[in-house]
Amino acid sequence: MPAPEYPHADPPAPAATKEVAPGVHWLRMALPFQLDHINLWLLEDGTPEHPAWTLIDTGLGNEATRAVWERIFADRLGGRPVKRVLVTHYHPDHAGNAAWLCERFGTELWMTRGEYLTVHAARQGAAGYSTAAQIALFRANGLDQARGDALLKRGDLYRKLVPDFPFSHRRLLEGDRIAIGGRSWRVFIGYGHAPEHASLHCEELNVLISGDMLLPRISTNVAVRPVDPGSNPLRMFLDSIRRYLALPADLLVLPSHGLPFRGAHERIAQLEAHHEERLAELQAACAASPRTAAEVLEVLFRRKLDDNQIFFAMGEAIAHLHYLYYAGRLARSVGADGAARFASA
């Protein structure tokens, strides 16, 4: 299977930008996690008489990121106003500075309704978007008390990383076409990674701003969350990325993490194969003896996991087990301890 190609192998320096397609500029912000960066996009907008910018995603809402933005404003925006701030989904590295940017430039936030409301739920710890609710879900899937207590000490980090958020937005819908700089960008809504993740495709440029839905080297986190504990997000995710197969094979993909790449069709095939390999391994492990999600972490993840990684790994393990259960490849039962276990169907 051909590997993806990387036409822009060197990311822009801090507070610098790089044009990757006509009118499409790449900038990168640091993240204080193992995944240490996010790619953001500046799109030339407006008219020749009144030039402007559209900003795609915003970085974490912290002082370090805002300091980089200040340098971008001074050195790269050329005095042009910002016409809109578009956020692909609710995760804090994407939504963290949305309010700050909208207020600074007096502009609108563009976002899907599901992602917009999820930001507000996560900031308030409502509708299951709290650490306590997350730990209750993990405990119901076999996580031991000690590791649950360790996660609880992390607290609810979301509000710290998204310190404010607008109280109105312009709603994005599937198939919407947004005019940006004289070009049409079509909205694709994807599921599984987030409630209603928006990606943007420009046919004229043959470019897809994929957000987190299609990444070149790592697999997107797909997790069951307390708001929908019986969900099957892995099936939704795989169904969503298969829709990109209708786009040209030489499409330039602009992901939120990693390098811009060509070879979306090959990358989708790689991701399908990767998940099927993991699913087959889980199915075999559960055939040997009934397992909880906590008991299959070592099957899915072959490295020692810290508390932050456990948070993501547990949700992903549950998602893979649910996929097998809904496909009829595993049976599910709840034991006397209240934990769900999966075994041969």
E strands in the chain: 18-21, 24-30, 37-46, 51-56, 82-86, 108-112, 170-172, 177-180, 183-190, 197-202, 207-211, 252-255, 261-262, 330-334, 340-344
Q: At what angle do helices 307-326 and 145-152 cross, to 10 degrees?
A: 120
Give the torsion through C-alpha atoms of 94, 98, 101, 102, to 10 deg.
140
| Residue indicated by tokens 């809504």 | 189
How far is residue 345's CA from residue 342's CA, in Å, rounded to a whole number?
A: 9
In the predicted model, what is the mean pLDDT of residues 81-96?
98
- Confidence at residue 304, expressed as pLDDT on a 0 to 100 scale: 79
Tokens coding 252: 């330039």
Mean pLDDT is lowest, of 49-58, 79-88, 139-148, for 139-148
- Cβ-based neighbour number of residue 326 at 10 Å: 15
* Between residues 339 and 34, the one the model is more confident about: 339
Residue with tokens 């992901």: 255
With cut-offs at 50, 70 and 90, classify the pLDDT of residue 4.
confident
**SS3 assignment, position 69:** helix
Banded model confidence at residue 280, pLDDT cuts 50, 70, 90: very high
Which of 55, 88, 38 has its CA nearest to residue 200? 88
d(CA 204, CA 206): 6
What share of the chain in percent tops pLDDT 70?
A: 99
Indicate the angle between helix axes 307-326 and 131-139, nearest 10 degrees.
50
**d(C-alpha 214, C-alpha 262), whole Å:** 11
**pLDDT of 31:** 95
HSE of 166, CA atoms in CB hemisphere, 13 A:
28
pLDDT at 267 over 90: yes
In degrees and rounded to multiples of 5, residue 26 shows phi and psi of -100, 130
For residue 103, pLDDT over 60 is answered with yes
* pTM of the predicted protein model: 0.96
Q: Residue 336 corresponds to which tokens in the numbers above? A: 């006397």
| Average of per-residue pLDDT values in the chain | 95
Q: Grade residue 274 by pLDDT with cuts at 50, 70 and 90.
A: very high
Residue 34 confidence class, pLDDT cut points 50, 70, 90:
confident
User: How confident is the model at residue 152, as a pLDDT?
Assistant: 74
Band of pLDDT at residue 254, cut at 50, 70 and 90: very high
Within 8 A by CB and 6+ apart from 159, the residues are: 122, 123, 125
Is the pLDDT assigned to residue 305 strictly greater than 90?
no
Closest CA to 205 of 3, 86, 44, 60: 44
Task: Indicate the SS3 state at residue 208.
Answer: strand
The pLDDT, as a whole number, for residue 172 is 98
pLDDT number for residue 154: 72
pLDDT > 90? residue 229: yes
Are the C-beta atoms of residues 171 and 84 closer than 8 Å to each other? no
Residue 292 confidence class, pLDDT cut points 50, 70, 90: very high
pLDDT at 217 over 80: yes
Tokens for 318? 């549950």
Which residues are CB-neighbours of 321 under 8 A, at least 6 positions away? 282, 286, 293, 296, 330, 332, 342
pLDDT tens per residue across span 51-69: 999 999 999 999 999 999 9
Residue 189 Cα to chain centre, angstroms: 12
Q: What is the pLDDT of residue 147?
A: 82
Say what the pLDDT of residue 1 is.
Answer: 55
Q: What does the alpha-carbon distance between residue 22 and residue 41 come to, in Å, rounded to a whole number?
A: 12
| Rounded Cα–Cα distance for residues 190 and 9 (Å) | 27
153 pLDDT band (50/70/90 cuts)? confident
Cβ atoms of residues 339 and 141 within 8 Å: yes
